[in-house]
Amino acid sequence: YVESVDLLAGRKCEKVHEGAGPAARRKYHLQTIPGLSVDLKIGEWDFNAIEVDHQRHGHVLQVVGFELLRPFTFFPRETLTAFLEKVESRYDASNPYHSHIHAADMCNSFFYLVTKCGLWRTCEVPEVCYAAMLIAALGHDIGHFGRTNMFLITERHELAITYNDRSIMESFHASSLVRCTEEAKDGVNLFQQCSAEQVVKARQLMITLILSTDTQKHLDELAAFRFRLGADNFDPASEANDQLATFCMLFRSADIGHSAKPLEIHDEWSRRVTEEFHRQGDEELRLGLQISPLCGRLN
C-alpha cells in the first residue's frame, strides 16, 4: 500500500503472464463514433459488458477505455489505441470471470460511481490522476489466470514467493500494468507527454488503487472508512486523505458490485465466477490439495 495518502493532490509525494485468448482476435480499429457511449450505455450502471463484448467482436475493453480516456488530450491517439490493444491482449479471454470483459465492466462501474458521487473532475486532483484511475480500473486484473492468492500460497507458486505471500495477484497486476504504460520499445509510452512528477503520481495512484482490491483487507478497511465517513470534517472533495480513501472504496465497490446490477447481469456474472472457482477446485483436487471454500464443484 502506498504510505502517503496525499498522492492525489501531490503534496507528498516480472514476469508477465500473456493472455492466451485474445491473441488470435482480429485487430480492432477504434474510432470516434458520435453517440456510441449512449447507444452502448457506457457510463451507466446497467451497462452490459458481456453483451457489448459480443457485439464488438471481443473488444469491449478497448471500446470502454477509448470512450472514457479520449477526452484526456495528453494521450496521443495512436499511443492510446496501442496501449488499450496491449492491455486487452494480456487478459486471458478463456477465464470465465477475470477476463477483459470484467475489466471493462469494472472500469465502467467505477466511472459511474465516481460521477454519481460528484467527484469526477471536480476535486482538487490533477487531470493525470483522473486518467490514471481509469487506467488502473482497466488493468486491475491484467494477466489474471483464474486462481486466488490462497491457492498460490498453498501451491508455493512463483508469484507467492516473489511477493512474500502478501497481496500476490494484486501486486502482480499493478506491476504488469505499470510495465504496459512504460514499454516505449513498443511505442506505448502512455505518459510520454506528462512531466516526470506527474508520471510518479499517476503510477503511485494506480498501484494504490489496485492493491486496495485485495479482499483480505476488505473488512478492516471498510470499518476504517465507515468511521471516517461519520466525522464532521470528512471532505473527499478537497482533503487528500479522504479523497484517496473514497476513491479506493469506490474502486473496490466497482470490482465486486455486480450483485447490485440488474438481475440478469448479476446472474450471468455469478455463474461465471462460480465456474472459475470450480476450475480452481478441480485443479486443487488433481494436486491433492485441500479444496478452497466455494471451489468444490460437487458441494
Catalytic hit among 59, 98, 102, 144: 98
Contact 180, 90 (CB under 8 A): yes
Alpha helices in the chain (DSSP H): 36-40, 49-55, 60-69, 77-89, 100-116, 127-138, 149-155, 158-162, 168-182, 196-211, 218-229, 240-256, 263-287
Q: What are phi and psi of 73, to 5 degrees?
A: -75, -10
Angle at 243 between CA 193 and CA 9, to 5 degrees: 40
The single residue listed with the C-alpha cell 480516456 is 69
Has 98 been annotated as catalytic? yes
Cα 278 to the center of its chain, rounded Å: 23
> Cell digits for 102?
470484467
Distance from C-alpha of 116 to C-alpha of 113, rounded to nearest angstrom? 5
**Rounded CA gap, 238 and 245, in Å?**
12
Question: Could you tell me the end-to-end alpha-carbon distance of the chain, in angstroms, rounded to an integer?
Answer: 36
Q: Catalytic residue numbers?
A: 98
